[in-house]
Amino acid sequence: MAVVKVLLSIIYVVLGIAISVVILMQEGKSNGLGSAIGGMADSYWSKNKGRSMEGALEHFTRYGAIVFMILTLVLNILMKTQG
């Protein structure tokens, strides 16, 4: 059981660092309402965002955060059951 806890802890730390790096790599959303009013909301890049690098970063952030939260719960349960 201790080996599983150590492996999950290593994955937890690596995933936390990876999520931090991916978040810092993403572009800011400062355009917001200004681009919608100016007509930029329906541009080619906004329509195909899911296929771009920015879209891939957003997907990794979303799913990485979900896995990170699940690992947090699992590690917490393992710590409480061990004593």
What DSSP letter does each residue of 44-60 carry, written as one string? HHHHTGGGSHHHHHHHH
**How far is C-alpha 73 from the geometric centre of its chain's CA atoms?**
17
pLDDT for position 48: 65
Q: Does 16 have pLDDT greater than 60?
A: yes
Mean predicted confidence (pLDDT) in 6-24: 96
pTM above 0.75, yes or no: no
pLDDT for position 2: 87
Write the burial class of residue 13 (CB in 10 Å: 0-12 exposed, 13-18 middle, 19+ buried): exposed
Query: Does residue 11 or residue 35 have the better pLDDT?
Result: 11
Query: Does residue 76 or residue 34 have the better pLDDT?
Result: 76
Q: Confidence class of residue 5 from pLDDT cuts 50, 70 and 90? A: very high
